[in-house]
Amino acid sequence: MSSLSTPLNNTLPSPQRHAPNEQQESTSPLKQQPLQPQQAYACNQLSQDLYAQMFKQLDNEAFATLVTAILITMLFWLAIFLTSDCGVNFLHMPLWFVLSCLGGYILSVVGVIVLVKCFLKDMPLHPTSHASAENQELTLEQEQTTAQAQTQTTAADHTVIASATADPTTVAASVDPTALDTAAMATADIDTAATATAAATTVQPLDPTSAAPRH
């Protein structure tokens, strides 16, 4: 796959310091252009590759975090061993204490800032459909709309959607390529996921306001 060689920064949503919600960003391009069933498999593969790249990045971040913690620990003890016997005071306190404990505290704050700025990257953390809909409060009207949308779904589509989730917001979110991957996993059939996409594009116009995730 070509996406395997694509740098993570180019394939993942670019770091946005003021991006409050990742689900909205990830679904928006696909809302504009509904997927064809043939495209579903490609999206699934892309998603799986992206998913793997995310985990590579997570490994790097975990390693960088661990190294930062170990460095702080080593410098802490180095400060104690080098200065505990010198008998010098600083700010009316022993130098070893100022350097190790107070200096270690400042070092940890500086260390974590460097870690966050240089080694950690923003990435979408909720690849499934549920996360975007967890905290939504259902009004009676929405419940009715949901029931209406579900009853108008074809029997074949209904089987797929019901097996993935009964949550109506999933229908909209399943247009998201990352959600497609989940649908394929859950239903054990990539072709079925493609059908789910087709179903989603069919159902979505019925009531886009009720199906779109609220944030």
Partner 1 sequence: MQQLLPLVPIAIFFVLLLSIGYINAYRANRARHFKKEYFLGSQNLGGVVLAMTLVATYGSVSSFVSGPGVAWNLGLGWVVFAAPQIITAFLILGMLAKRMTILTSRLDSLTVIDLLYERFHSKAISIILALMLIVFFIAMIVGQFIGGAQIFAGLTGLDYSIGLVIFALVTVLYSSGGFRAVAITDTICAILMLTGMGLLGYVILKDGGGLSQVMDSIAQVNIDEKTGISRNLEFDAGGALPLSLLFSTWILVGFATMGLPQSLVRCMTYKNSHDLHKSMIIATVVCGALMIGMTMLGVLARAVITEMPKGGTDAIIPTLIASKMHPLIAGLTILGPLAATMSTVSSLLIAAASAVIRDLFKVFATTTTAATTAPASATAPANNAASAGNAAAASASADASEDNSETSLIQESTLIKLSYHEKIIIKGTTLFMGLIAIGLAIYPPDIVVWVNLFAFGGLESAFLWPVLLGLFWPRFNSTGVLCSIVAALGTYCFCMIYKVSILSCHAIVPGLLAGLIGALLGTYIGAKLRKQKLDARIHAIFFPHRPYQP
Name the minimum Å distance from CB 204 to partner 1. Answer: 19
For residue 41, the minimal CB distance to partner 1 (Å) is 6
Q: Judged by CB, which is closer to partner 1: 163, or 202? A: 163
Q: Which residue number, 123 or 171, has a Cβ lying nearer to partner 1? A: 123
Give whichever of 132 and 204 is closer to partner 1, judged by the CB atom: 132
Q: How far is the CB of 72 from partner 1 (least distance, A)?
A: 6
CB of 112 to partner 1, least distance (A): 4
26 versus 201: smaller Cβ distance to partner 1 = 26
- CB neighbour list of residue 36: distance below 8 Å, 6 or more residues apart: 198
CA 28, 46, 36 angle in degrees (round to 5)? 60
- Token pair 């019925």 is found at 206
Rounded (5°) CA angle 59-62-64:
110
Task: Compute the distance between CA of residue 85 and CA of residue 8 in angstroms, rounded to an integer.
Answer: 50
Measured CA distances, 90 to 81, 102, 110, 118, 213 (Å): 17, 11, 21, 33, 58
